[in-house]
Structure 1
Amino acid sequence: MQTEILPDFLATPEGQEADAILRACVHCGFCTATCPTYQLLGDELDGPRGRIYQIKMVLEGQAPTRVTQQHLDRCLTCRACETTCPSGVRYARLADIGRHYVEERVRRPVRERLLRWLMLRVLPYPRRVRPLLGLARALRPALPHSLQAKLPQPRSAGPWPASAGQRRMLVLGGCVQSVATPGTNATAARVLARLGIDLLEVPEAGCCGALAYHLNDREAALDAMRRNIDAWWPEIQAGCEAILITASGCGTMVKEYGEVLAEDPSYAEKAARVAALARDPVEILAAEDLAPLGAPGRGRKVAFHSPCSLQHGQQLKNLVEPVLTRLGFALTSVPDAHLCCGSAGTYSVTQPELSAQLKARKLSALTSGAPEMIATANVGCQLHLDSGTEVPVVHWLELLDANEVPAYE
């Protein structure tokens, strides 16, 4: 499409990037067919094509409004539209640029500002999340049912295997995952140890920066990215093979470090190196001989939920399922597997009604084959889905570690 971006903005790297993305879009509308919010709301402005148009108008000088902001807020950034797009439009990147531009020009209501402030000040910090989660669990009987359902049950992480001097990889500790599902990384360490790989978690590394980045606190996000790079760099220089990220949402962010920090002269080269080393667990396991893991599946029926960040963000489609099949699991059919579950980072908090509708649809699809358990690859999806079903919801790596679903404490 033709563009007339404001000259001052066009002179910036983001302006040039937005212009190139907009020019790639031919407004064919294929993206609307796979957009979850367009399917729910039926409004062109709540689909990718409509949001692209709104961003274009704003960048060309039309004053953004609260309505513009709300339409952009309702986007899950699930990136299903990118998978569908025949022109390769980088919608998620354009949405980040557009949201940030609008955020600087449209003041949010007090309630929204307070909610975002609280999330930014609490969720990226495990030392703040842990006591608050403990308090909420203690007060669980007094909480409304809707909040009770959202509280994850405490789980035991189990032992972390000692280093055996084998192939070595780093793993991102993360923020919420390290508190809510601490067994995920420990499980990954045990599974990889059986395959001859040592997994190392560097304590100084923390939140990947995605939460702040997508809530438009750019400086906090960049600080988090730089902190992780600094924490990992000695191990990278020492020859670590890869950086494993067991939460696919975080993996998508880390794989984009090089792009996000491209204009930072002190970190651009290091960020590109980190991004190149970033791996989802399935990228490792799909290429390994899995015989040491045995056959933990024994025909058990599992529904696999492929997070948007895995299949659309990282473009790792249909890789986990063959691994589970190789290990003896019977995978049930999941209709509309490309659609978002409604978790989408903080979306379940900022857009609870739409998120609840999407969760109900996804759980209906996941349970349609009567699985014994639901497996996924992202902590947000895991907690979100677990709050709406009696079927156990686990990280898929947990299935490889034991012959039964990990026990609650």
Structure 2
Amino acid sequence: MRTEFSLAQLADPAIKEADAILRACVHCGFCTATCPTYVLLGDELDSPRGRIYLIKDMLEGGRPAAAEEVKHLDRCLSCLSCMTTCPSGVHYMHLVDHARAHVEKTYRRPWHQRLVRALLARAIPDPNLFRMVSAAGAFTKPLAPLFARLGLPQIAAMLRLAPHGLLPKPTPSGRVVAAEGVRRGRVGLLSGCVQRVLAPGINEATVRVLTRHGFDVVMPAGEGCCGSVTHHMGDEHRALAAARANVTAFAAELDGAGLDAIVSTASGCGTTMKDYGFMLRADPEFAEPAARFAAKVRDVGEFIAGLGALKRVPTPPLTVAYQAPCSLQHGQKVVRQPKEMLARLGFVVRDVPEGHLCCGSAGTYNILQPELSGRLRDRKIAHLEALEPDVIAAGNVGCMAQIGSATAIPVVHPVELVDWATGGPEPAAFEQPG
């Protein structure tokens, strides 16, 4: 693609990076076939190629974002399926992230959108605040239809997605769990934010699996939200602050006793954490430690699959429908390892038709774009239920919540199955009524 940025514009490192990405695009359109919003809407502007044209025009003109551009950029899930499909290696993720930061700086949204986005940006990264906001949402859940009738679908979606009742208190960071038996190594674990409150059993299962197989597990004080939610909303200030906090929290461990890996149990977090080196590339204080941090990040399935033989105990030969989160299969290119890990433990693993298409969760997408999110969820559920599995496994808490909201089939994280098959408790989802 030909670009026409001025020399003055190219002096900005972010514009220079965008220019290189734009020039890599050859207009082939392969990306349209695997883009969820194009599959649903059939609109060129709701495809990666169409959004690339919008971004190019907006950035080259050096002008504020317009409502039409914002509409189509907001509809992008950042699922990154286009990056898997693209034969030219266009780094769409970095381009759309830059465009969203530009939107955030130059476009004033309607008041109700600003309210919802501000609440999400403030509450989601803070486990204690998220817990309180979720409790308030549970109390006001019956008002969701009213907000929908008032033309406030995002507020209605937020209330519909609020969990029932009070969530458990988040487990604090700043602790080390020692390995069982012969010590093989030492890993860091990101406790994160939402998952720590919404599904604490995932981290608990991860600690059990890793310590059972000889690893000390370190959750240093100060670690927390990876920054992905605010990053994808264009809020660079909060996103980079979260990245710096995690780099700082794990630096002492990397410099001290060392870490074999920094494990993430939420694939959306892992994709962002693996990108910290790029995100902080212009920061003279953090560029090098961020790159070192990013090089250590592994998805929990990726890490466990590389351990070799696991300490298997007898479990029923359940059929598992494995739904690969977009951030894992497209963002991190981790595709076969989680499936192989489950198969080695005796589970019958089935791929999901249209497995490359997003379930519609995509961070906060199911709140900010509830109509499209719902259509993608229903499409995904139809494929999952057609497989008639005993259980659905997905390696991201957002995907688990999205899919679990519309099916009676138990939905678990793959590490919960690994924990069970290596001596841990049966996943809690099996005990819950459908």
* TM, length-normalised to structure 1: 0.94
**Can you give the 5+ residue segments of structure 2 that lack an aligned partner in the other structure?**
146-155
Question: Closer, same or farther in 2 for the Cα pair 1:263/1:183, shift >3 Å?
Answer: same
The percent identity for this pair of structures is 47
Question: Closer, same or farther in 2 for the Cα pair 1:96/1:291, shift >3 Å?
Answer: closer
Question: Closer, same or farther in 2 for the Cα pair 1:299/1:157, shift >3 Å?
Answer: farther
**Structure 2 match to 1:46:** 46
Distance in 2 of aligned mates of 1:76 and 1:392: 25
* TM, length-normalised to structure 2: 0.88
**Structure 1 match to 2:23:** 23
Contact 1:195–1:290, Cα closer than 8 Å, also in 2: no
Output the amino acid matched with 2:322: F
Shift of 1:8: 3.2
**Structure 1 match to 2:179:** 164
Q: Deviations over 1:145-166 (max 9, x none)?
A: 97456526868999x9941383
Contact 2:211–2:217, Cα closer than 8 Å, also in 1: yes
Question: Closer, same or farther in 2 for the Cα pair 1:89/1:42, shift >3 Å?
Answer: same
The answer to whether structure 1 residue 59 and structure 2 residue 59 are counterparts is yes
1:385 to 380, 387, 403: 403
1:371 to 389, 395, 406: 389
Distance in 2 of aligned mates of 1:42 and 1:343: 20
Distance in 1 of aligned mates of 2:142 and 2:47: 40
Shift of 1:23: 0.5
Contact 2:352–2:384, Cα closer than 8 Å, also in 1: yes
Distance in 1 of aligned mates of 2:107 and 2:252: 42
Distance in 1 of aligned mates of 2:329 and 2:274: 14
Contact 2:131–2:169, Cα closer than 8 Å, also in 1: no
Question: Closer, same or farther in 2 for the Cα pair 1:86/1:235, shift >3 Å?
Answer: same
Say which is worse superposed, 112-121 or 284-293, in terms of deviation. 284-293
**Structure 2 match to 1:246:** 265
Distance in 2 of aligned mates of 1:136 and 1:12: 42
Contact 1:375–1:395, Cα closer than 8 Å, also in 2: yes
**Structure 1 match to 2:92:** 91
Output the amino acid matched with 1:390: A
Contact 2:102–2:234, Cα closer than 8 Å, also in 1: no
Contact 2:80–2:330, Cα closer than 8 Å, also in 1: yes
Contact 1:254–1:278, Cα closer than 8 Å, also in 2: yes
Distance in 2 of aligned mates of 1:275 and 1:183: 25
Contact 1:191–1:293, Cα closer than 8 Å, also in 2: no
Shift of 1:143: 6.7
Distance in 2 of aligned mates of 1:142 and 1:103: 29
Question: Over the residues paired in the alignment, what is the CA RMSD in angstroms?
Answer: 2.3
Question: Closer, same or farther in 2 for the Cα pair 1:6/1:149, shift >3 Å?
Answer: same
Shift of 1:283: 1.9
Q: Deviations over 1:64-115 (max 9, x none)?
A: 3101111110000100000000000001111111222233222111111111
**Can you give the 5+ residue segments of structure 1 that lack an aligned partner in the other structure?**
none
Contact 1:334–1:365, Cα closer than 8 Å, also in 2: yes
**Structure 2 match to 1:151:** 163
Output the amino acid matched with 1:111: H
**Structure 1 match to 2:151:** none
Distance in 1 of aligned mates of 2:16 and 2:323: 36
Distance in 2 of aligned mates of 1:44 and 1:115: 28
Distance in 2 of aligned mates of 1:326 and 1:295: 12
Distance in 2 of aligned mates of 1:111 and 1:400: 43
Contact 2:192–2:226, Cα closer than 8 Å, also in 1: yes
Contact 1:157–1:183, Cα closer than 8 Å, also in 2: no
Distance in 2 of aligned mates of 1:139 and 1:59: 41
Shift of 1:318: 2.0
The answer to whether structure 1 residue 405 and structure 2 residue 432 are counterparts is no
Contact 1:103–1:216, Cα closer than 8 Å, also in 2: yes
Contact 2:393–2:412, Cα closer than 8 Å, also in 1: yes
**Structure 1 match to 2:338:** 320
**Structure 1 match to 2:213:** 195
**Structure 1 match to 2:414:** 396
Shift of 1:223: 1.0
Q: Give the aligned length.
A: 407
Shift of 1:293: 3.0
**Structure 1 match to 2:255:** 237
SS of aligned partner of 1:328: coil
